[in-house]
Structure 1
Amino acid sequence: MTGTISSYISLLPLLSTVFTTLGASSPIEKRAEAPVKTGFNRVWWENWGHKDGIPHNWVYNLGTSYPGQVEQWGTGEIQTYTNKTENIRVVNKVLYITPKKVKDAKGKITWTSARLEGRKGNQWACADGKKMLVEASIKLGSASEAQQKGIWPAFWMLGDVFRDRGYKGWPEVGEIDIMESVNGLRQTWGLVHCGIYDGQKPIRGPCNEPDGKGGFVKGVGRGIWNTYGIEIDRTSKDWKTEKITWLINGVRRHSISGSEVNNATAWDFLAHRKMFILLNVAVGGGFPNGVEAAQTPFSTTIDGDNVGMQVDWVGVYQQI
């Protein structure tokens, strides 16, 4: 979700990427709290039930960029992020992030939406020789594909050093996209971004920027609760055989190892250092445009909860 405007243009083919079909993996029920997991400590969770609301654990990202940084959040997305209840609210311990169409004084349609990042202090790293899980229960919009062209929900993580540097240094700081979905497709992507990206083609660096490395899963249900997560596994104690694995409803879908990245520094940022969590719904930009092979959103794209993202809970687990 972070990078240069062209970062996702060539992502559609992902010819070197693994993909799987979800098959019979079952959606979860709404729980409003991250579940307990055998062999792990639940070190942090969000159930949207705090008296002080969303700001208890989260900071709103507002506008069209980090202060002084690349416009359109570096990806060409067209929405403006707000903290208005029409874009972000909690109802019955469920977070709603909702893109909205807005007409300006000249009748031009613009878009608003919302984006959160974890507060400073809410960042985690997998301990050497252990595993770490990061999961969230998410419901994606159930509107038709024609009505969701350009809608781009995401659950992801960035290296905490990104904040320390004044939101500079992508993709070196490391990015793990736990779940991205575009254009209403019954398909989700799980990718990593790392190393360098200089705006040149073809893809380059240890994470094949601007595409990133990872995979995607077909057949993902929309309008139902699914648990999306990653497992960082450092139990081998050899960075080349350590793994990041993407899970849907607890089922392992695809993985990437240190040897596949083949760069110790890049892997260190991805698997060893602290990261913070982000949740957002973007509109337009390089990824949905690249997948659709056209400029999005379309005139048929609707706004509202049926194209937004709902989040029941978020949890971080460290192996005992």
Structure 2
Amino acid sequence: MPPIAALLLPLWSLLPIISASVPMLAGFSVVWSDDFQGDHYAGVDTAKWNQFVGRSDNNAELEFYTPRTNNVHLSGDGQVYIVPTLSNGTWYSARLESVASQACDEGRAMVFQASLWVPDLTGSPPEFAGLWPAFWALGNDLRTDGVLWPECGEWDIFEATNKLGDMNQGTLHFQNADGSHNDSFHGRTVYTTGQYHTWALEVDRRSSDWTKQAVTWYLDDTAFYTVTGAQIGGFQEWTQLADRPYYIILNMAIGGDYPGDPTSQTLSGFDASMRVEYVAIYKSD
């Protein structure tokens, strides 16, 4: 498998879709990206992003998602800020879902990658209780063909809570042949919180044998967890995970079953934000 190490190309050789802030990967080409260029406090590019509005039905979360710029806006220097805010007893936040989706073609590999920052969660500080920033993806047939979760498939690439502290957990969600939910494949890695890191998930279908195909998670270009088709064990289950188009989600959830609920100490505003420098999808040449 080629390394995921980024290789910056001369500006003259970049395709129009690629900004200087989106790195190239050796052996891959960018097929979709956003580097969040624009004026400070401007909204995101709605040609690239759907903005979820309302309450999530998942995980007993508390937030109300809005497209308002006090919850999601450009930084003015090539980032997007997703900012949780508490107002009159209600938590507000933002959830971005890419309009585009991409599938890993047979015989190729595909990477979903982002550079992002979350607050310093080392030691599970109480001021971040209940916050749940995440970079993840869902199978596009959830929104196009009425396929329900978890059959649509889900890749959790990066998620942070103060309960996890300085660990990220990568997880797959899919449906077993008997219709039950499978979330038993997950791997963790320690990272330095409060700093920018590159997180990526690669789907590798270059082997003609589906049992040797793989999904691999990366932190700063280093693999930390891999799941193969053989480990999943069933072709239909592997198809859910590796042979369907997926779309990207960036969000800051608040409260619920996984992170626990916020408290009176939980910070509201910029210091509790998730900051994303770029998101890109790559396919092997």
Check whether TM > 0.5.
Answer: yes
Match of 1:171 among 143, 150, 156: 150
1:112 corresponds to 2:92: yes
Match of 2:82 among 97, 100, 110: 97
Q: Whole-Å Cα distance in 2 between the matches of residues 135 and 310 of structure 1?
A: 14
Q: Secondary structure at the match of 1:55?
A: coil
Q: Whole-Å Cα distance in 1 between the matches of residues 134 and 184 of structure 2?
A: 15
The 5 A counterparts of 1:308-319 are 308-319=273-284
The code of the aligned residue for 1:96 comes to: Y
Change (3 A) 1:116 1:216: same
Q: TM-score if structure 2 supplies the norm length?
A: 0.85
Q: Secondary structure at the match of 1:240?
A: helix
Q: Whole-Å Cα distance in 1 between the matches of residues 258 and 248 of structure 2?
A: 20
> Which consecutive unaligned segments of at least 5 residues does structure 1 have?
1-30, 65-71, 104-108, 199-203, 290-295
- Does the 8 A contact of 2:177 with 2:237 survive in 1? no
Q: How much does 1:56 deviate? A: 2.8
> Which consecutive unaligned segments of at least 5 residues does structure 2 have?
1-18
Percent identity over the alignment is: 33
Match of 1:155 among 135, 140, 162: 135
Q: Secondary structure at the match of 1:287?
A: coil
Q: How much does 1:306 deviate? A: 1.8
- Does the 8 A contact of 2:38 with 2:78 survive in 1? no
Q: Whole-Å Cα distance in 1 between the matches of residues 216 and 36 of structure 2?
A: 27
- Does the 8 A contact of 2:70 with 2:83 survive in 1? yes
1:36 corresponds to 2:24: yes
Match of 1:229 among 178, 192, 200: 200
Which is further off, 299-308 or 174-183?
Answer: 299-308
Partner of 2:264: 299
Q: Whole-Å Cα distance in 2 between the matches of residues 134 and 43 of structure 1?
A: 10
After superposition, the C-alpha distances for 1:117-141 in whole angstroms (9 at most, x for unaligned) are: 011xx11111112111110000012
Q: Whole-Å Cα distance in 1 between the matches of residues 134 and 108 of structure 2?
A: 26
Q: TM-score if structure 1 supplies the norm length?
A: 0.76
Q: Secondary structure at the match of 2:175?
A: coil
Partner of 1:87: 71
Q: How much does 1:152 deviate? A: 0.3
- Does the 8 A contact of 1:132 with 1:317 survive in 2? yes
Q: How much does 1:281 deviate? A: 0.3
Q: How much does 1:37 deviate? A: 1.5
Q: How much does 1:73 deviate? A: 2.7
- The aligned length equals 260
Q: Whole-Å Cα distance in 1 between the matches of residues 256 and 45 of structure 2?
A: 26
After superposition, the C-alpha distances for 1:234-272 in whole angstroms (9 at most, x for unaligned) are: 122211111100001000001111122112112112111
Q: Secondary structure at the match of 2:258?
A: helix
- Does the 8 A contact of 1:32 with 1:94 survive in 2? no
The code of the aligned residue for 1:78 comes to: L
After superposition, the C-alpha distances for 1:218-237 in whole angstroms (9 at most, x for unaligned) are: 2x122211000011111222
Which is further off, 134-143 or 50-59?
Answer: 50-59
Q: How much does 1:54 deviate? A: 2.6
Q: Which protein has greater RCO, CA pairs closer than 8 Å, 6+ apart?
A: 1
Q: How much does 1:142 deviate? A: 3.0
The alignment yields a C-alpha RMSD, in angstroms, of 2.1
- Does the 8 A contact of 2:151 with 2:240 survive in 1? yes
Q: How much does 1:212 deviate? A: 4.4
The 5 A counterparts of 1:200-239 are 205=180, 208=182, 211-218=183-190, 220-239=191-210
Q: Secondary structure at the match of 1:163?
A: helix
Q: Secondary structure at the match of 2:267?
A: coil
The code of the aligned residue for 2:48 comes to: N
